[in-house]
Amino acid sequence: MNASILRALRAHKPCILQNHIIFFSNGVCLNQIHRPVFRQSNRSPSIGAYGIFMLIIPAASFGLGVWQVQRKTWKEQLIAEMTDRIDSAPIELPGSFDEIRELEYRPVRVRGTFLHDKEIYMGPRGLLQKDTGANNFLSLSIQGYHVITPFKLADRDQTILVNRGWVLNSRLKRHTRADTQIEGVVDVIGLVRLSETRPNFSVKNQENTNLYFYRDLEAMCAATGASPIFLDQTVDFNLPGGPTGGQTVVTLRNEHLSYIITWFSLSAATMYMWLKRYVFRPV
């Protein structure tokens, strides 16, 4: 085949090679034959306004991931602070409301008299009890109510509210637990609690029946004549057959790790798609 091509070149005759036909009419045409050149563009592909706009998605999701890392650190510090407060030694109840607002979950010691005829109830609630270890768990299968009793302080002309603890529905009425109605001056240790907003999907408090579904201090104090100070009695003051103290549920939602994974994964995926489209695409 090579010999036939050479003969054609010398004789200026057409040469047929498979599907290609080469015509050689004279020397001028022969000199115009060149090897094909494949050009490679050195110009970068234009990203354009749309490409710049699409870069916002991976950048924004990465920023949200960093923000969730910061939120997770803050939440863990807050949980540790709350735990330290609960485990700290009890202090005397301050006289200033501003000081009390800064002491949520801090144990305080008070002395006074329970006003059982003005007690109110909050629920329904599950029973928070200790397991065989050192942890608490909330039993939702056992439903009852928290008994909240006004407490007249002995050292000042002031009445506060004390959540004495949890009782069964069958023992909600006072006459069913007459033996647990403490009389006279007593010492109580409880955790400071603040008012809470109405939870989502919760019904309104039934103030005319002394039944509350959430801790609304303004409404509770208006019904009992107490000052806006609320204590959760600790488990150390439990009485046989009486309200079960220590019903403070200390939980904070900490789902930031799942948010971190979500945002960083979204950032990585969209950044890969952007690079593949605007940077690594074939020319």
- Among residues 189, 140, 142, which one has the least CA distance to residue 164? 189
Higher pLDDT, 28 or 129: 129
Provide the β-strand partners of residue 92. Answer: 109
What 3-state DSSP class applies to 262? helix
Question: Two tokens at 258?
Answer: 């799942």
Tens-place pLDDT, residues 161-171: 999 999 998 88
pLDDT of residue 135: 44
Question: 138 Cβ partners below 8 Å, 6+ apart?
Answer: 126, 127, 128, 249
pLDDT tens, residue by residue, 13-57: 555 444 444 544 555 444 555 554 444 445 555 778 888 888 999
pLDDT at site 44: 52
Tens digits of per-residue pLDDT, 219-273? 999 999 999 999 999 988 777 777 999 888 877 778 889 999 999 999 999 999 9
Contacting residues for 129 by C-beta, under 8 A, at least 6 apart? 136, 137, 139, 244
What pLDDT is recorded for position 137?
A: 53
Query: Can you list the positions of beta strands (E) in 4-63?
Result: 15-17, 20-22
The arithmetic mean of pLDDT across residues 85-89, rounded, is: 90
Please give the pLDDT value at position 209: 82
**Beta-carbon neighbour count of residue 135 at 10 Å?**
7
Residue 280 — very low, low, confident or very high, per pLDDT cuts 50/70/90?
confident
Strands 211-212 and 120-130: parallel
Taking the C-alpha atoms of residue 138 and residue 249, their distance in angstroms, rounded to an integer, is 9
**Distance in angstroms (rounded) separating the CA atoms of residues 248 and 236:** 13
Q: Give me the mean pLDDT over the 128-135 stretch.
A: 54
Between 23 and 147, whose confidence is greater? 147
Mean model confidence pLDDT for the chain: 82
